[in-house]
Amino acid sequence: MQGITFDKHANNDYAGSMNDWLQHAYKLLSTGWGAFILLIFLGWIACATLSRVFRRFHMHNHSHRQILNLSVKAIKGIIWALVLIQGLHGVGVDVVGFLGAAGVAGVAIGFASQTALSNLISGAFLVGESSFRMGDYIQVGSEEGTVESINLLSVYLRRADNTLTRVPCETLIKTPVRNLTGAAQRRIDFDLGVDYASDLSIVREIIMNVIANQPLLLDEPAPTITFGNFGDSSLNLHIGAWCKTEHYHAVRYEFATAILAAFAEKNINIPFPIRAVTRYETPSSSNYSATK
């Protein structure tokens, strides 16, 4: 059996190259810029590890996603601030003087960015109040959509047409916010008018039968049918029935369709507004003169 031979000169050259590379790396790390690069690398590892831990914790805790998300962003900001300060100090930058100059500049910038500061404070109040969470569907003034993200300066809403709307936190504090999916149950409301010739007791019985035959409508809370007012051409009723929030849109459509079908079957008329126009004719001046 032929033995395997090794080139001792090649091994020595490889060992010498590795030794030279390690010496160069050590010299680089011994300098301020080398330490700066090493700190950036360590900071990146720390932030990546923090994000991974956050994702695992988020899988088991969905109730405080926005607080966890903002906490991770704040910790990442602190990590990178420490990396920057320590790195600048390592390359010989006077960090104290730099921070002093930054503080003076920060005061000037603060006066010029009062709106951003107001949004920042409003964002902190929103996070503490937890009036809505990521994934909720909310209405803010004329804007509405699913909460995509909650930040200290703004909240992003995903609209039904898949466009993204940015709403400043200050607006959310000053404007009434309606959370449409914040509760487990939601009521379906209809305002309905029937003909004056209709028997309201029969109308009520028909509607209750429709509700009983809708499997996704809930028995508790109990549905309600109340009299609204005497309209110009109809007796106006208000109908309210409860369902699970996630079924709202599907059930609303099915409920309305079933009511129309039941009314058509029982000859219950939903009248259109009617206006009576009376025309008066006056005799012409010539006819008036002839008669006289």
Q: What is the CATH number of the domain that holds 156?
A: 2.30.30.60
Looking at the fold, whether 54 and 105 belong to one and the same domain comes out as: yes
- pTM over 0.85? The answer is no
Q: Which domain holds residue 144?
A: 130-179
Looking at the fold, whether 165 and 248 belong to one and the same domain comes out as: no
Looking at the fold, whether 54 and 78 belong to one and the same domain comes out as: yes
Residues of the chain with pLDDT under 70: 1-36, 55-72, 74, 87-114, 274, 276, 282-292
Domain boundary among 54, 78, 112: 112
In this structure, are residues 138 and 167 in contact, taking their beta carbons and an 8 Å threshold? no
pLDDT at 131: 82
pLDDT at 1: 44
Looking at the fold, whether 88 and 149 belong to one and the same domain comes out as: no
Looking at the fold, whether 217 and 164 belong to one and the same domain comes out as: no
pLDDT at 203: 95
Number of domains in the chain: 3
- For every residue of the chain, DSSP letters joined together read -PPP---HHHHHHHHHHHHHHHHHHHHHHHSHHHHHHHHHHHHHHHHHHHHHHHHHHHHH--TTHHHHHHHHHHHHHHHHHHHHHHHHHHTT--HHHHHHHHHHHHHHHHHHTHHHHHHHHHHHHHHHH-SS-TT-EEEETTEEEEEEEE-SSEEEEE-TTS-EEEEEHHHHHHS-EEESSSSSEEEEEEEEEE-TTS-HHHHHHHHHHHHHT-TTB-SSSPPEEEEEEE-SSSEEEEEEEEEEGGGHHHHHHHHHHHHHHHHHHTT---PPP-----------HHHHHHH-
Would residue 1 count as lying in a domain?
no
pLDDT at 149: 87
Looking at the fold, whether 35 and 108 belong to one and the same domain comes out as: yes
Would residue 135 count as lying in a domain?
yes
Looking at the fold, whether 24 and 108 belong to one and the same domain comes out as: yes
pLDDT at 95: 58
Would residue 193 count as lying in a domain?
yes
What is the torsional sign of CA 270, 272, 273, 276? negative
Q: What is the number of other CB atoms lying within 10 angstroms of the CB of residue 142? A: 6
Would residue 125 count as lying in a domain?
no
Would residue 275 count as lying in a domain?
no
Would residue 290 count as lying in a domain?
no
- Which CATH number is 247's domain given? 3.30.70.100
- Predicted confidence (pLDDT) per residue in 45-71, tens digit: 877 777 777 766 655 555 456 656 666
pLDDT at 64: 57
Would residue 104 count as lying in a domain?
yes
Looking at the fold, whether 214 and 247 belong to one and the same domain comes out as: yes
Looking at the fold, whether 41 and 94 belong to one and the same domain comes out as: yes
